[in-house]
Amino acid sequence: MSRQLLIVTHSKGKFPEITAELQGAAFDFLNLNDIPSLPPKYEVEEPAMTFEGNAIIKAMTVGKKTGLLTLADDSGLEVDALNGRPGIYSARYEPGTDEDRYRKLLGELKNFPDDKLGAQFHCVIAIYDPATDKTRTCEGIYRGRIIREPRGANGFGYDPIFYNEELGKTNAEMTVEEKNSVSHRGKALREAREILKSDF
């Protein structure tokens, strides 16, 4: 029987993106919606000031609660003109929807010229095994730039305003396969898949 791997997300967008990249590692994938012992919409506090710190806290907290091998990521958008903001606050940058958050960001950037709109997505993944109390981490960075008007209907978060020069499209105009091949999370997940195969 293959081992279960709990992915710390409720997101219907993020879960298939993650599992697509972990294919080939012999696990049954679960997300937080699959764990009846956890309250609905269960969230872990993210008090750390780094992506790595928050990913480790999430993986260890949920792993200890459920007794399952657990994978958690913390990711965010770092905009050059805003000195790396919103960073670890990307998901909490503005209450409301993804659109509310990227509209706020576009408002903050309206007085910057286009050549100052460089940005990167940064992801750190932590894998925690409660059976051995062992934690491993890996990370990925994905450069691009912010565009003024959203484009595309795929993805989530800041995808409609994050533009990839090489592919000539925003993240939200990409298929899951295209996005995973270039994205911060895709890079970190490929490393995570090798760690899962060799260590867990």
pLDDT tens-place string over residues 62-118: 999 999 999 999 999 999 999 999 999 999 999 999 999 999 999 999 999 999 999
- C-beta neighbour count of 48 within 10 angstroms: 15
Contact, 147 vs 170, CB < 8 A? Answer: yes
Residue 63: phi and psi, rounded to 5, are -60, -45
60: Cβ contacts below 8 Å, ≥ 6 apart? 70, 126, 128, 135
Give the catalytic positions in this structure. Answer: 74
Domains and CATH numbers, the chain: 3-199 (3.90.950.10)
pLDDT tens-place string over residues 132-181: 999 999 999 999 999 999 999 998 899 999 999 999 999 999 998 899 89
Q: What DSSP element (H or E) covers 56? A: helix 51-66
**pTM of the predicted model as reported, rounded to 2 decimal places:** 0.89
